[in-house]
Amino acid sequence: MADVSVKKGLTKGVIKLTVLLGISFLFLFVLGKLLPTPTEDGYRVFPLIGSRVWVWIIAQLHLNFAAFVLGVPIFAVSMEFLSWRRSDERLDRIAYDFTKLFTLAYTITAAVGTLLLISLPVLYPKFMDHMMKILGPTWWLYIVVMYVEVMVCYYYYYSWHKMKDNKGTHVAIGGLLNIMGVIMLLITSAWVGYMTTPAGVSETGELLSRWKAIKTHMWIPLSIHRLCANVVFGAGIAASYAAYRFIVAETDEDRAYYDWMGYTSAMISIGFSLILPGVGYLLGVEIYSFNEQMGIQLMGGFFAWLWVMQAILIGAILMFVNYYLWISLNKMPGGERYFKYVKYLFVTMLLGYAVWLTPHSVALSLDEARKMGTYHPVLGNLGVMAAKNTAVVITYLATFLSFAIFKMSNKEAVVSWAKLGNALRGLIVIGSTVIVLILGVYSYMVSSAVRVKILSPIQFGVFFLAIVALFILDAKMFKGAKILGEPRWGKMPERSQYALIGITVTFTWLMGMMGYMRSGGRQYWHVYGIMQDTSPDAFLPTHGFASVVTSILTVIFFALMGLLFYGIMKLEKKGGQGGAKA
């Protein structure tokens, strides 16, 4: 398929997009004529599952795919840049593989987007009229940017081998692709931002200032949050692609390559996920400053238990990551020397996880309530933010240590101060843990304002300082170190790959749940405080219902992803001689 000429590729892309857009407008026109007129307050009902569930699933699927095609280019292009500077063939291959993934995913993204584009105006005509009235021009801009984006993307992909000797320009095109991606993200975030934290309109929904309606409280923080999460998510999907290829691989060479690809993607994913709590905090602050009520509702009201769910999921992700790193020690020559530390890391992770998922308010039977009163003295103390922040920082630190151990396990320091260096490392690890613990205990004694604004940032600061210090120390200590042997890529038990897939599935599920919460924060409003939802679906469903919908759409998403992976393999086989393996 690398033989397809650039021109042909571009034409194909533009035609695909135009056909899909054409289909949607045709459908909108025909359905608008055929279907009965909407109800008085402006709704049509989707058969069987109802409008809300239908739009919910389609929108979340579209969002998942969009997150993927916007997230992957960020590190694909970075990888290509690195391969260009270091002239590293393997990096070039992985960058190309990433590009292959997102380019082919565009078609599915656009197809699901088309479904959404048809569904929304048909099912929610009055609401969409309002959105067009307020933010109409951004929609036309969006279509233009989408065309440019697709063209740049296809050009970038199909010209990969043609421009082998002109890498600089090719990387620049990749950069342009990412700029386009960010613009698309900004536009779509503006829509959601307006729905959740509207501004620039009068109380009756008349437009006052279009720019204000775009630049809402949520706009920028939501965009940054999505940008980071897209990278985490995209890299996660790339890792599960690698895991899939590893499992179905037939040669050792393939296995070695996909093992390495899975490892690289997983580390990109986890590295970026370290920023997410901070960015999420910013988003939360903006929601609070828009409307205190909505903030509390999201953080502690109806959704309180979903945060416990989130804790379970994030704990599981971190466990999977550590597991993957610990298994990876098997393939490192000299890795067996470090298994003895895994015990301690494991116990730390276990205790951290236990604290992290202890709920603050426990559902009690009468018998239990009779014995202990309404408030458990020990669990009550573990359930509050002071304990949770501490636990999370310490588990993150343990995860970083697992990574550091993996990195150094095949090396032996030769510098003269190696002993001192080891002592120093121990000191940093234990010291930062103790400081974080002390801060954690101290934060029980101060008011919540001091805890949130001063102590928690200090805890995270100590964590980042510690990992930076460890990073520098290791870099210095293992400079020119004796290498006990190259990692035996591909010598991984299959279950490690299941851990990678587990990470991605859990993350996708989490994304679905958080997306539901973000959307549910509006409660019975289409546009919070401006346009009320008067449809029969205006209520928030039970957590169980939301979980089932999230599970269903996650399975659909992975089924589509599986199709995509399968398609890529088919294509590679067809063009196997054509140099797709570069």
Partner 1 sequence: MKGGAIKLFVLVVGINIFFAYIGLYFLPQSQSLPPKTIKIEKGIAQDELIAAGETILFGKGQCMVCHPMKPESGMRAPAIATIGADMVKAAKERNIPIENYVFEGLVNPAEYIQKGFENMMPPVHKAPTSLTEGELIAVSAYLQSKGANITINYPDSVPILQDEIKKETKKGGNG
Partner 2 sequence: MQKIYPIIAIIGLVISISSVFKKSPFFNFVGLQILIYGLLKSADYIMPALPAQVILMYMAMSVFSFIIYFSIQEETFKAFLEPMRSLFADDNKKFLRLIIAFIALPLFAGYLTYAKVKPTYDPPVSARIVHPEPPSQMDFKGKTMNVLGLENPLRKDTANFAKNVEEGKKIYYQNCFFCHGDDLDGKGHIADAFNPVPLPFRGTDTIAQLPESFVFWRVAKGWRGLPAGSGPWNSSMPSFEDFLTEEEVWQVIMFIYESTGNKPRSWE
Residues that bind partner 1 (CB under 8 A): 203, 243-244, 247-249, 291-293, 296-297, 301-302, 305-306, 308-309, 312-313, 363, 447-448, 494, 498, 501-502, 505-506, 509, 523-525, 528-530, 533, 538-544, 546-548, 550-552, 554-555, 558-559, 562
Residue 406 as a binder of partner 2 (CB under 8 A): the answer is: no
Is residue 300 at the binding interface for partner 2, with CB under 8 A as the rule?
no
- The Cα-based distances of 126 to 13, 40, 522, 531, 536 in angstroms read 33, 10, 18, 10, 15
Q: Toward partner 1, which CB reaches closer, 330 or 534?
A: 534
In one-letter notation, the amino acid at residue 387 is A
Which residues is 525 bridged to in the sheet?
Answer: 532
- Is residue 505 at the binding interface for partner 2, with CB under 8 A as the rule? no
- Scanning residues 310 to 369, which ones bind partner 2 (CB under 8 A)? 315-316, 319-320, 323, 326-327, 329-330, 339, 342, 346, 349-350, 353-354, 357-359, 362-369
Q: How far is the CB of 379 from partner 1 (least distance, A)?
A: 16
Minimum CB distance to partner 1, residue 173 (Å): 34
How near is the Cβ of 438 to partner 2 at its closest, in Å?
23
In the complex, minimum distance from the CB of residue 398 to partner 2, in angstroms, rounded to a whole number: 13
| CB closer to partner 1, 172 vs 555 | 555
Contacted entry of partner 1, partner 2, none for residue 505, CB cut-off 5 to 8 Å set by kind: partner 1
- State the DSSP string of 239-301: HHHHHHHHHH--SHHHHHHHHHHHHHHHHHHHHHHTTHHHHHHHHHHHHHHH-HHHHHHHHTS
- Of 418, 351, 425, 421, the C-alpha closest to 388 is 351
Comparing CB distances to partner 2, the nearer of 345 and 467 is 345
Task: Please check whether residue 568 is in contact with residue 100, taking contact to mean a CB–CB distance below 8 angstroms.
Answer: yes
- CA–CA distances in Å: residue 175 to residues 85, 182, 396: 15, 11, 31
For residue 321, give the nearest of 564, 453, 561, 506 by alpha carbon.
Answer: 506
Q: Does 432 bind partner 2 (CB under 8 A)?
A: no
Bridge partners (DSSP) of residue 201 are: 207
Those residues whose C-beta lies under 8 Å from the C-beta of residue 352, and which sit 6 or more positions away, are: 315, 391, 392, 394, 395, 398
DSSP secondary structure string for all residues of 385-416: HHHHHHHHHHHHHHHHHHHHHHHHTTEE--ST
Tell the smallest beta-carbon distance from residue 310 to partner 2 (Å).
14
448 contact, one of partner 2, partner 1, none, CB 5-8 Å limit per kind = partner 1
> How many Å apart are CA 16 and CA 94, to the nearest integer?
27
For position 445 contacting partner 2 by CB under 8 A, the verdict is no
From the list partner 2, partner 1, none, pick the one residue 357 interacts with, judged by a Cβ distance below 5 to 8 Å according to partner type.
partner 2
Shortest distance, CB of residue 582 to partner 1, whole angstroms?
24
First vs last C-alpha separation in the chain: 12
Closest approach, Cβ 400 to partner 2, in A, equals: 18
Residue 49 near which of partner 2, partner 1, none (CB within 5-8 Å, type-dependent): none
Asked if residues 31 and 122 have their Cβ atoms less than 8 Å apart, the reply is yes
Nearer to partner 2, 204 or 542 (CB): 542
From the list partner 2, partner 1, none, pick the one residue 372 interacts with, judged by a Cβ distance below 5 to 8 Å according to partner type: partner 2
Q: Total residues at the site for partner 2 (CB under 8 A)?
A: 38
Q: Which is nearer to partner 1, 51 or 188 (CB)?
A: 51
Least distance in Å: CB of 479 to partner 1? 40
Residue 447 binds which entry of partner 2, partner 1, none, CB below 5-8 Å type-dependent: partner 1
Nearer Cβ to partner 2 (89/336):
336
By beta-carbon proximity to partner 2, the closer residue of 359 and 529 is: 359
Element (H, E) at 360: none
Residue 577 neighbours by CB distance under 10 Å:
7
- Residue 372 is a binding residue for partner 2 (CB under 8 A): yes
> Tokens standing for 40?
């008085």
Residues in a beta bridge with 207: 201
Which of 216, 63, 25 is CA-nearest to residue 134?
216
Collapsing DSSP to helix, strand or coil, 207 comes out as strand
* Residue ranges in contact with partner 2 by CB under 8 A: 315-316, 319-320, 323, 326-327, 329-330, 339, 342, 346, 349-350, 353-354, 357-359, 362-374, 376-379, 493, 495
